Structures are given as structure tokens and as C-alpha cells.
Amino acid sequence: MQNRNPFCWVKKQMARSIYVSVSIMIYVLSQVSISNAYPIFAQKGYENPRETTGRIVCANCHLANKPVEIEVPQAVLPDTVFEAIVRIPYDMQLKQVLSNGKKGGLNVGAVLILPEGFELAPTDRISPELKEKIGNFVFSELSSQ
């Protein structure tokens, strides 16, 4: 006489449901989503780029720490447009994953905190030579206040 397990079909159904669940979980976890995190959110969230501890607010998201070289004039007369040169030496061969999932160049930037009373020059006051030097670099105020 044959010995039949009455719960055999239950075991098969459980095995199938576990297999389907694991397959769905692997599918969901392997999908690449487009990133929606941009520095503009940090710019709108802080009126002062320096926290009370002295730390710059960009360090809340950006963990890299690189040495920076800066060239600024020793003295500036009022109502004068001057040039500040910021250099961040890094390996140009390094790549990062972009928001579309492809590899691209690193996003490298700096925060330049100007003393009280200083502001970015309006575009009509910037000389053509300086505009050519600037190229496609983007400058913006951290906060409108």
C-alpha cells in the first residue's frame, strides 16, 4: 500500500509562492531609478552656508574632502570687479554614475564665502576677456537673503 502525504500539495504551493516572491524581489531591487537629488535643494534649505560649528552645509551630503588652491587679490577697492581663482586638483580620469545610470565626469565644485558687503558682479560689468575665461562655469548665490 502506498503512503501518501496529505500535505504534499501545500508544500508545492509554498515552494512556488516563495519562488515567485523572491523573483519579484530581485526584479524590484535590480531596477535603476533616476536620481532626483540636486544641490538646488541645499541652496534653498540654508540661508547661511556655514553652520554654527563652522562646518560648511555641503558636507551634509558631499563626503569628499580635497585640498583647494585659491588666488584672490590682497586688497580690493569699492565697486571693483575682481577675479577669484579656485583650483581643485583631482584625477580627471575618475568617473561617477550619473542620474541616467551612465558613467560621466565628476561633479566638482566649491563654495566661496565672500566677506560682508561683497557680492557677485552683474553680467554687464564682467569684461569679455573674463567671460571667455569663465566659459560654462556656473555661479550662484547660496541664498537670496
pTM of the model: 0.53
Is there a domain that residue 25 lies in?
no
CA–CA dist 46, 36 (Å, integer):
19
CA–CA dist 41, 114 (Å, integer):
21
Is there a domain that residue 8 lies in?
no
CA 127, chain centre distance (Å): 31
Three-class secondary structure assignment of 102-123: CEEECCCCCCCCCCCCCCCCCH
CA–CA dist 119, 108 (Å, integer):
22
Is there a domain that residue 56 lies in?
yes
Is there a domain that residue 18 lies in?
no
Identify the residue with better confidence: 11 or 125: 125
**Hey, how many other C-beta atoms are within 10 angstroms of the C-beta on 107?**
10
Helix locations, the chain, DSSP H:
8-30, 40-45, 128-134
The CATH code of the domain that includes 76 is 2.60.40.830
pLDDT category, 145, cuts 50, 70, 90? Answer: low
Segment 95-120 shows an average pLDDT of: 83
Segment 58-66 shows an average pLDDT of: 67
pLDDT at position 79 over 60: yes
Specify binding-site residues for heme: 38, 58, 61-62
Number of domains, the chain = 1
pLDDT of residue 98: 83
pLDDT category, 97, cuts 50, 70, 90? Answer: confident
Q: What separation in angstroms does the CA of 8 have from each of 3, 4, 14, 19, 49?
A: 12, 8, 10, 17, 66
pLDDT at position 93 over 80: yes
Is there a domain that residue 14 lies in?
no
Is there a domain that residue 127 lies in?
yes
CA–CA dist 3, 74 (Å, integer):
96
pLDDT at position 121 over 70: yes
- DSSP annotation of 8 reads H
pLDDT of residue 36: 46
Specify binding-site residues: 38, 58, 61-62
- Domain span holding position 46: 35-145
